[in-house]
Amino acid sequence: MSLIKEPLIHFLAIGGFIFMLYAGLQSDTSDNIIHVDKGTVQYLQTNYQKIWNIAPSKAELEALISEYALDEIYYRQAKALGIDQQDPLIRKRLRQKMEFISESIRATTPPSDEALNAFYRDYADRYQIPLEVSFQQQFFNASYTRQELEQAIASDQFPPNDPNLFNPEYTAMNIVEINKLFGQAFGSELLAADLAASMHIIQSGLGWHIVTQLTRTEATSPTYTEVKTQVLRDWQYAQQAEFRATMNTALLADYQIIVEPVQ
């Protein structure tokens, strides 16, 4: 096999070409200087300590600075070669970075308890604990009729069931889970079933279910105090979304966007 066909040779050759090309593009020796200021070093130390809960050693800090320098070197080389041009991934990452910086600068003060409580009232449905249903069931395939199953219940002589398709018992299921597993028709009939009855025959998309031990826990709304932590997170997210939308509108207003017609 020819050496030129070896993947490693290809990689080295292409890499060498790129670095030689970049060297040719360099016209100012000042571009070869990477200044790592005090603030950057402190950031690297702080970020390391946040992750590992310990300050970096001298050798570890030197490695962090080397990685920072390499990031900058590759960034400059990529820009010199025009690799950053028309790259949707780079554009998207830069936008995300700008959004993150903008939102960090904004850094709103925590809301008052009154404002947070008002947010909770406006979106109370988000925090509602949904109705839950528990029941036991036996599944019978669609070859049976409702009348046959009613007769089986009356005589207490049940035909063979299919135990492998569904669990014999389900606990604390909400309506979304029930509809997903059994179908909406089953879910609607289950919610309407009389709790005083000992047995219910309910049809699903796959067959019949004899349902017993049916209980329902009605939907409840937790108090503001019980969900305050979640309400705060939701409020912060809503504030960020509102700020981002306002910022985007302002940015777009500062630019004239010209779209070339597609031939």
Average pLDDT value for the chain: 83
Could you tell me if residue 113 is inside a domain?
no
* 153/79 same-domain check: no
* 73/139 same-domain check: no
Residues forming beta bridges with residue 135, ordered by sequence position: 170
Segment 90-97 mean pLDDT = 78
Total number of domains constituting the chain? 2
Residue 235 has pLDDT above 70, yes or no: yes
Could you tell me if residue 197 is inside a domain?
yes
Least confident piece of the model among 73-77, 107-111, 179-183? 107-111
pLDDT at 5: 44
Could you tell me if residue 258 is inside a domain?
no
**Residue 100 or 240, more confident:** 240
Residue 131 has pLDDT above 80, yes or no: yes
Question: Band of the pLDDT at 150, cuts 50, 70, 90?
Answer: very high
What is the separation of C-alpha 82 from the centre of its chain, rounded to a whole number of angstroms? 33
Residue 30 has pLDDT above 70, yes or no: no
Could you tell me if residue 184 is inside a domain?
yes
**Residue 36 or 6, more confident:** 36
pLDDT at 25: 46
Could you tell me if residue 229 is inside a domain?
no
Portion of the chain with pLDDT greater than 70, in percent: 83
Residue 47 has pLDDT above 70, yes or no: yes
- Residues with Cβ within 8 Å of 211's Cβ and at least 6 positions away in sequence, in order, are 135, 136, 137, 190, 193, 199, 200, 201, 202
Residue 158 has pLDDT above 90, yes or no: no
Question: Band of the pLDDT at 88, cuts 50, 70, 90?
Answer: confident
* 134/79 same-domain check: no
Among 180, 201, 217, identify where a domain stops: 217
Model confidence pLDDT, tens digit, residues 3-21:
444 544 544 454 554 445 4
Give CA angle at 222 (218, 226), nearest 5°.
150
Model confidence pLDDT, tens digit, residues 160-177:
777 778 999 999 999 999
Could you tell me if residue 203 is inside a domain?
yes
* 75/144 same-domain check: no
Could you tell me if residue 119 is inside a domain?
no
Question: What's the sign of the alpha-carbon dihedral 16, 22, 24, 28?
Answer: negative
Q: Which domain holds residue 22?
A: 3-85
* 22/79 same-domain check: yes
Q: Which two tokens stand for residue 227?
A: 């969900």
Among 202, 217, 232, identify where a domain stops: 217
Could you tell me if residue 94 is inside a domain?
no
Question: Band of the pLDDT at 33, cuts 50, 70, 90?
Answer: confident
Could you tell me where the beta strands, DSSP code E, fall in 68-130?
none
pLDDT at 31: 63
We report the CATH number of the domain holding residue 156 as 3.10.50
* 81/161 same-domain check: no
**Residue 6 or 86, more confident:** 86
pLDDT at 248: 80
pLDDT at 191: 95
Q: What distances in angstroms separate CA 43 from CA 65, 67, 105, 131, one per listed residue?
A: 11, 13, 17, 49
**CA distance linking residue 20 with residue 257, whole number of Å:** 38
Among 58, 85, 112, identify where a domain stops: 85
What does pTM read for this prediction?
0.53
